[in-house]
Amino acid sequence: MTGLTFPVPDTRPSRFPTRLLLAGMFFLIFMGAGAQQAYVVPYLQRAAGFPALQAGTVIATVYFSMMIFRVLNVYLFAGWSDRRFTIVGSLTYLMFTLVMLATAFVRSYPLAMAAAAAWGVGGAMMWTGTAMQTLALADGAQRAHGSRMGALYAATEAGWMSGAILLGLVYRACDDAHLYAVYVVAAALTLLGVIVGTCLPATGPALRERPNLPALLATMARGRTLIAGLLQLTSALSFGLVLGGLGAYVQAAYGPAWVWLAVAFYPATRMLVSVVSGHLFDRLGQTAVMCGGFAAGAAALAIAAVWDSRLATIVMALGLGVLSSTVPVVASAMVGVGAEIKRRPLVYGIVFSWRDLGVVSATVAVVLIGGQADFRTAFSVFIWVFLACALLSLLLGRFGGQKM
């Protein structure tokens, strides 16, 4: 597979700053292909007639594939530049929206699953290429890795929030026969993002270390890398399980008119806190910021568990947004600070494979539970999970000088 080639030359100059192009690209792609993830399951049920479990496994397959290829891509496409990783990966986002559009007419479960698996490969590729470019820019900016990664995640969340609102308006306006219009809009926005991505400047030859299996396992077992991965897993698992039930909880407790609390405050908080957590990482370090994120999540859930009110629900959405925005930004910045340039793609892949495992587990669990769980009990459980992770974050201080 290393001999594969694509017509994506790595010599295009750019008249715009790379970080601006990356932010614009991610804003548009996540406004389209990123935001449509919230509608995949109900869309496939309404437009294609898939059972709930089949529809849920489509999105779970995306993250299962991504989990595997976070690391495998480093070996399979070793000669590809970071720019090529970004552009080819972005094309799979566009491909998935087009396949979902076609699924309304073809109604093929195998086709949907194949597109999901391919998107996982490309998603892992695009995030690796983009993260490496962002960290490289930070190397030349007084090592502001947290600030640069925070800005990238903020653009992502801004796109996701805008797209969720726009696609939601289209989704609610269409009957089952015309629901494919959701993916017409999603594909158009994603295409704009891909076009912006082709304007990225050349990144030079790839610098990727490819250790043998024993050395790879040793890297995975290093204290700093392992703790960062476990915190990613817990954050993603909690995000999927709790947020997956939050809308149903709000609707049952306060009525459907208040479901927007579970939608609006969460991504808005992630957008703002991504920038703040990145700056705090550069000034306070990994331990304080990571611990603070989990503590905020635990405190927010505790308030919602003991205080039955709409205001408490808003606080819970805000706290979960703080947690979910803090962990990936800090984990990405840790790779920039703690890993040598040629090791970054591999370490980044290892750490974020844990995150994808959490998303897969949460997605399948939410589908199997089917919304029948006692959400207040679940919230209480995750209070202790978050507190345990806050304590685990303190151990990062012991490995502050360790290379990843």
Res. 6: pLDDT tops 50: no
Tokens of 28: 């548009």
Spatial distance between the Cα atoms of 238 and 57, rounded to a whole number of angstroms: 19
Least confident of 204-218, 264-278, 362-376: 362-376
Domain boundary among 208, 233, 267: 208
Residue range 171-218, pLDDT digits in tens: 888 888 899 999 999 999 999 999 999 999 988 888 788 988 888 888
Question: Looking at the domain assignment, is residue 5 inside a domain?
Answer: no
- What residues contact residue 176 under an 8 Å CB cut-off, 6+ apart? 46, 47
Please tell me whether residues 191 and 313 are part of one structural domain. no
Q: Average pLDDT, whole number, for the chain?
A: 85
Same domain, 195 and 313: no
- What 3-state DSSP class applies to 107? coil
Question: Based on the domain organization, do 185 and 258 belong to the same domain?
Answer: no
Can you tell me the distance from the alpha carbon of 291 to that of 288, in angstroms, rounded to the nearest whole number? Answer: 5
Do residue 184 and residue 103 come from a single domain? Answer: yes
Structural element, H or E, at residue 212: none
Query: Is residue 7, in this structure, part of any structural domain at all?
Result: no
Q: Which helix (H) or strand (E) holds 400?
A: none
Tokens of 306: 């003991």
Q: Are residues 330 and 365 in the same domain?
A: yes
Mean pLDDT of all residues in 385-398: 85
Q: Show which of 152, 186, 208 is a domain's final residue.
A: 208
Q: What DSSP letter does each residue of 3-18 carry, written as one string?
A: T---S--S----SS-H
Q: What is the pTM of this model?
A: 0.87
**Residues 29, 162 within the same domain:** yes
**62-103 pLDDT, tens per residue?**
999 999 999 999 999 988 999 999 999 999 999 999 999 999
| CATH number (domain holding residue 158) | 1.20.1250.20
What Cα–Cα distance (Å) separates residue 21 from each residue in 114, 144, 205?
A: 30, 18, 20
- Give the number of domains in the chain: 2
pLDDT at 234: 86
In the structure, how many helices (H) and strands (E) does the chain have? Answer: 14, 0
Same domain, 279 and 370: yes
Indicate if the alpha-carbon torsion angle 9, 13, 15, 21 is positive or negative: positive
5 falls in which pLDDT band (50, 70, 90)? very low
Asked if residue 252 has pLDDT above 90, the reply is: no
Q: What domain range is 365 assigned to? A: 209-399
